[in-house]
Amino acid sequence: MNILDKIVADKRKEVDLKKLIFPPSQFEHSILFERDTFSLAQALRNSDTGIISEFKRRSPSKESINQNANVGQVAKGYEKAGVCGMSVLTDIKYFGGSIEDLILARASVQLPLLRKEFIVSEYQIIEAKAYGADVILLIAAILTKQEIKTFSELAKSLGLDVLLEVHNEDELHKSIMPSLDMLGVNNRNLKTFEVSLDTSKKLSKLIPNDFVKVSESGISSVEAIKELKPYGYEGFLIGENFMKTDNPGESAIEFIKNLKN
């Protein structure tokens, strides 16, 4: 059982427990449930930098990235830096995140917010909307084609953008459908945790231009982004690179300034 299998098994248990206490109908009474969302796909199309910053305390491959960060302050710093959107990890066990981080970020900024989560149930999509998300992440490696269709169509009916993440050609072929807004290529090999930008380059030509192309993982330099832009990528998810510093917002400001030069 690899790390992704473990995470998914734990996530299914977590969702089943939550359902016992909070039925999905309760989320629909949230004050945020009727709000108009911000489109990340549109923000990326209109941007010359395409940066999606991330709030992440730790990960399975790195025990501690930034355990002391305040999500509201970091979100404001990112907004000041001019990022297109912000990804918020909401997984507790493996990433040290929480659904509360999402709502605190929502209260702090007017940016498109991506709920970065291992979505295995429609329940989590309804929950994401109730807690202020604008975008959900669907991971092709853990979902069937039918689940991708069902989950993405539900998200679109709630006014949410959908970012579908793939790691290889097989995942990409089963995933392409009109209910997606963005196709993200994760440069990290989930079995070895090695990172290579070649994954994004190789898959770029297979992604139809109807979708915003996003490159994820291993993007730690301005050079990496300049290398990927000719392949049609408009979005670049940067997590650890900002979060490992004392002031993620300042790091983002500096990074974007260098990118524009």
The string of pLDDT tens digits covering residues 158-205 is 999 999 999 999 999 999 999 999 999 999 887 777 899 999 999 999
Residues in the chain with pLDDT < 70?
Answer: none
238 token code pair: 């940067």
Phi and psi for 111 in degrees, rounded to 5?
-90, 155
Active-site residue 165, yes or no? yes
**Given 186, 200, 215, 251, the catalytic residue:** 186
Decide if 54 is catalytic.
yes
Give the pLDDT confidence of 8-26 residue by residue, as tens digits.
Answer: 999 999 999 999 999 999 9
Domain count of the fold of the chain: 1
Catalytic residue among 39, 54, 108, 215: 54
Please provide residue 35's backbone torsions phi and psi, each rounded to the nearest 5 degrees.
Answer: -70, 150
Closest CA to 52 of 140, 129, 134, 125: 134
Please tell me whether residue 192 adopts helix, strand or coil conformation.
Answer: coil
Q: Is 216 a catalytic residue?
A: yes
- Parent domain of 219: 3-260
pTM: 0.96
- Whether residue 157 lies in the annotated active site: no
- State the CATH number of the domain containing residue 254: 3.20.20.70
- Identify whether the C-beta of residue 52 lies closer than 8 Å to the C-beta of residue 82: no
